[in-house]
Structures are given as structure tokens and as C-alpha cells.
Amino acid sequence: MSRTTRTRNLLGSAAVVALAGAGIGLAAAPASAADVSTWDALANCESGGNWAIDTGNGYSGGLQFSPSTWAANGGTGSAANASKGEQIAVAERVLASQGWGAWPSCSAQLGLSGTTGAAPAPAPAPAPAPAAAPEAAPAPATQSSTGSTSEAPVAATPAAPVAPAVPEIAAVESSGETYTVEAGDSLDLISADLDIEGGWTRLAGANLDTVTDPDVITVGQVLELPVAP
């Protein structure tokens, strides 16, 4: 019961005495009582679960009864000296007449309302959905020369470049004339400048002994010129 808003007296001690003198017994706890676990939870909030607490602040017992409320609902002596079962029996009568609002702060924290039963059980949390497998990115679409769109084909591993075939160079007879290689020369340029019929292959054929690679000649190298075919 909240220490600031508790009901101090339901019937008054004089009324209790009058009822007892008339031979009228106090009512038992209602059949629709809250379960013990609910009262334990309320006691944990009200008094830290200490059913024998009495700090002298005007409230005692696990559910913090005021003396007038305790007596008006069938309690005898001090709530702090009563058993847990006795305290719960008196609390059931308070609950039946006042509802959970007799303990406003803690009942609100526990989600208790009305005059009977325990707080509704919280709904179970939904299980997390399994993570979806990542989708493969679609292949980009390509547009043909006719304007139609199609899926891009899977790229194949590029083949290694094929070196151009080198023409077979046959030996050619030398004319006895020579040419000295200058900077920037190549067999192709020399054969074009000198109008060698058959081109650079005949020039290379006349120099098989000194030109092992047609792409490699050096400045100052002396080349034999081939005879005319």
C-alpha cells in the first residue's frame, strides 16, 4: 500500500468490536483471491519482501498495513507479528473491498487492476524471423543494335592474344651492294626507300647471317642488298 494514499480505516475499530460483540464472524478471504506469487511480488515492491518489517513509520508487515486497515479487515495484533498467510488473508479482504488501488504505486508498477486476480501475463515476444539469404545481383541488361534488350551474357575468360604469324624468310642472293643502317631505320623503311621488290622479307633474306630477328637492327649495321628478282 502506498505510504501517501493508503486507506487509513475501512470500518473503524469500533465497528469491528460491535460486530464481534453481536456474534457476527468476519468474512473469510474471497474465493477469487490472487495467487501467492502475486502477493510476493507486491510485498517485494512494498517492503522488499520482508513480511516482519516494522520501521515505526505507521505501516508494517510485508504489504505495509496501517493499524486501522489491518484491524478493520480482521487482523489481530500487529501485521509485522502475523504470519505471511495471515497477512495475505487480510490483504484479500482489502482487495475485495478496495481493489488493487489500496496499493496504488506498486500495483501500477505490477500492472494490477480491479479487485481480483493477478496481473495479466505479458505476451511472449515474437521469435525473430530467420535472416534471408542474400540474393544474387541480376546481370545488367544490354541493348542490341536493333534496340531490343536482353540479359548480359556471362563474361568468358579472355583468351591469350595470338601473335601474328611471321612469314617464312627464304635466303636471297646478295647483289653485292650494301646499306648502312641509320637512326630510325627498319627493314620495312629501308626496303621502301630503296624500292626493293619483294619488300623487307627479301632484304631480310639477303642478311640471314647477320639479322636473326627482322625487328632488330642497329645503327651502323651494314646490310647486304638483295638482287632483283
Does any domain span residue 71?
yes
pLDDT for 71 beyond 60? yes
Maximum distance among all alpha carbons in the chain?
158
How many C-beta atoms surround the C-beta of residue 207 within 10 A?
24
Please report, rounded to a whole number, the percentage of residues in the chain having pLDDT higher than 90: 48
pLDDT in tens, 188-224: 999 999 999 988 999 999 999 999 888 899 999 999 9
* Average pLDDT rounded to a whole number, residues 68-76: 94
Q: What are the respective helix, strand and coil percentages of the chain, to the nearest 5?
A: 30, 10, 60
Confidence of residue 31 (pLDDT cuts 50, 70, 90): very low
Does any domain span residue 58?
yes
Full domain range(s) for residue 41? 36-110
What are the Cα distances from residue 96, in Å, to 10, 164, 205? 12, 105, 123
From 89, 110, 131, the end of a domain falls on 110
Chain length of the chain = 229
Convert 32-50 into a string of H (helix), E (strand) and C (coil). CCCCHHHHHHHHHHHHCCC
Across the chain, what does the average pLDDT equal?
76
Please report, rounded to a whole number, the percentage of residues in the chain having pLDDT higher than 70: 64
* Average pLDDT rounded to a whole number, residues 44-60: 93
Total of domains in the chain: 2
- 209: CATH: 3.10.350.10
**Which residue type sits at 59?**
Y
Confidence of residue 229 (pLDDT cuts 50, 70, 90): confident
Q: Hey, is 147 helix, strand or coil?
A: coil
Q: Which pLDDT belongs to residue 159?
A: 64
Euclidean distance between CA atoms 173 and 229, whole angstroms: 10
Grid coordinates belonging to 189: 623503311
Does any domain span residue 119?
no
pTM above 0.85, yes or no: no
CB 204 within 8 A of CB 214: yes
From 110, 131, 158, the end of a domain falls on 110
Euclidean distance between CA atoms 17 and 139, whole angstroms: 92
Does any domain span residue 57?
yes
Grid coordinates belonging to 179: 646499306
pLDDT in tens, 77-119: 999 999 999 999 999 999 999 999 899 999 999 999 888 765 4
- 89: CATH: 1.10.530.10
Q: Which range has the worst mean pLDDT, 21-30, 63-72, 157-166?
A: 21-30
Does any domain span residue 163?
no
Does any domain span residue 147?
no
Rg (CA), the chain: 56
pLDDT for 44 beyond 80? yes
From 55, 82, 110, the end of a domain falls on 110
